[in-house]
Structure 1
């Protein structure tokens, strides 16, 4: 995959984490940023979704679509879908 793709994914993950501020714990936000900063983008997405699921935080349809769009090329669609099952719609 192209370096531009990874930069785009990193930017999307950062934007998503920003939109979810208040629904993610401070430690979950830091962990996501740490993973993104070392280009562990799959771990960043998994950590973000797992933190939301553990806290049963609401996730909008648009946020779900973004997460699944990021998950699909990473081969994480099943994991993300399972975790999102614990997150109600707002």
Structure 2
């Protein structure tokens, strides 16, 4: 089982790899859209990446409510807990 910190670190690596973001800019309270400049197409790419990493699909409806990196971590962590 992954901890919340493991999920954050995996997400952080994905954001760096996919969107060439600086590691320092990726904090729990960083806003995906305003601080990290993630747009709707990027969000779809991120959802797809999460699915490949976890084997679970994060529903688009769940992703609509996320605003910060911590929101994504929480959504992925909840998804992972469903099988636990």
Same structural fold, with TM-score higher than 0.5 when normalized by the shorter chain: no
TM-score (norm. length: structure 2): 0.38
Considering fraction of residues, name the structure with more helix.
1
TM-score (norm. length: structure 1): 0.36
Question: More relative contact order in 1 or in 2 (CA 8 Å, sep 6+)?
Answer: 2
